[in-house]
Every structure is written in C-alpha cells, then in structure tokens.
C-alpha cells in the first residue's frame, strides 16, 4: 500500500469531522450566538484539539461558515430563475428557493456583521442581490412592480425585510416555510395582495425544496 493510499482514511475522517463541526456550529450558534468553541466541540462529539485543528478561533469558524453560505447561495441560484418567467412569479420563485438557505444561515448574518464585518456579509449576499435587482428592473419595466424606488434600493429594502423575518423565525415570533415571506415580498414590491397570494401558491407547488441538514455522523 502506498503512503498516499494509507493516508486516505485519515483525510476522509478529517473532512468528515470538519463537515460535522460546521453542521453543529450552524445549529448551536442559531440557538446560542455566544456558544464557546469548547461547547461546540462537545456538541459535535470531537475533542477540543480536533476542532481547533480545523478552526483555530471563532473568526476562522465564522469565516468558514460564511464561505459555505456563499457557495450554497450560488448553487441555489444557478439556473433558478428563467428570464422569460413573469417578474412576479420569478420573484416568488426566488424567495421560496432561497428561503431554506437563508433559514439555515440566518444566525450567520448577525454574527458575521459583528465578527467579520458588514463588508463580508455584503460579499456573501451579493449573488442574491444581483438576481433580485434584475427581477425588479424587469418587473418595473413590465408594470408588475411599483416604481417608487430604484430597483437596487427596493432590492435592499426587501433584503432587510427578509433578514428581519428570518430573525423572527429564529426567535420563535414567526413560523414560516417561506410562503408568507414570499407573499409579503410581492406585496412590498407592488403586487396586489390577492395576486401575490395566488402567484405564491402556484409557484410553491412546483419549486424544489432544499433537503434538511444531515446530522453529524462522523467517527471521532
């Protein structure tokens, strides 16, 4: 057996432990933003040395979560919204498609602003902002959305509302699988309430939903 082949089980175990730590961090940080790395290690079922071997500090862990979130956003958005789709349906599709990702990383948005800075959060959300702004531009031209605000400003406002609603889910003040937020988003963009509800109901029946996170299962 070559040295490379002999090391492969160790590499697999290392990758598994890293994924396990990140999944645990998403869950535990959502429950308690001030959870310590030592507590995370125990929750993940790894020794302290293993966690610090992957993430030497809190900032390193949050940066890894930010990068993971950014890649997940990109994966969700690729091929998601068709240019020929009516703008109100496209916006509903976007909200419903992105909601499980935002819900998964909702704790990161607040923590990243505090620990990594607003600029890093902007980088993570940039792909989603570009898609929404393009949909709003198209919808305003077609008369589907109001024109009281420029598309980029309206996009920022809708993003802030979504983040606030995600936080309400986090605190238990709101229960939502994304459909209520999608309706509210269309209404805020200028779609009449009855039309917004009908569009979201139609789109919700066909939009693919994200798979739930798998629990940690790596051997330590």
- Give the whole-angstrom CA distance, residue 168 versus residue 34: 18
- CATH number attached to the domain at 8-56: 1.10.10
Question: How would you write the pLDDT of the chain (220 residues) with one tens digit per residue?
Answer: 555 554 566 677 888 899 999 989 988 887 788 889 999 999 999 999 999 999 999 889 988 888 888 787 777 776 566 667 899 999 999 999 888 887 777 767 667 777 777 787 777 778 888 889 999 999 999 999 999 999 999 999 998 898 889 888 878 899 999 999 999 999 999 999 999 999 999 999 988 655 444 443 433 3
Give the pLDDT score at 83. 67
Domain 60-204 in CATH: superfamily? Tetracycline Repressor, domain 2 (1.10.357.10)
Give the pLDDT score at 127. 81
Per-domain residue ranges of the chain: 8-56, 60-204
Fold match between domain 8-56 and domain 60-204:
no
């Amino acid at each position: 057996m070559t040295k490379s082949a002999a090391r492969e089980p160790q590499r697999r175990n290392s990758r598994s432990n890293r994924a396990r730590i990140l999944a645990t961090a998403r869950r535990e940080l959502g429950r308690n933003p001030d959870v310590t790395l030592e507590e995370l290690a125990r929750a993940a079922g790894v020794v302290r040395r293993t966690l610090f071997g992957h993430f030497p500090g809190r900032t390193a862990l949050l940066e890894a979560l930010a990068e993971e979130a950014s890649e997940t956003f990109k994966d969700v958005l690729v091929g998601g919204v068709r240019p020929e789709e009516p703008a109100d349906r496209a916006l509903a599709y976007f909200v419903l498609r992105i909601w499980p990702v935002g819900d998964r990383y909702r704790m990161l948005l607040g923590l990243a602003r505090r620990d990594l800075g607003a600029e890093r959060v902007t980088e993570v959300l940039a792909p989603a902002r570009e898609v929404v702004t393009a949909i709003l531009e198209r919808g305003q031209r077609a008369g589907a959305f109001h024109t009281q605000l420029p598309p980029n400003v309206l996009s920022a406002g809708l993003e802030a509302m979504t983040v606030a609603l995600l936080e309400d889910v986090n605190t238990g003040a709101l229960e939502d699988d994304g459909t209520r937020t999608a309706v509210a988003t269309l209404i805020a963009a200028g779609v009449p309430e009855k039309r917004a509800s009908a569009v979201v109901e139609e789109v919700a029946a066909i939009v693919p939903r994200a798979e739930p996170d798998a629990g940690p299962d790596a051997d330590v």
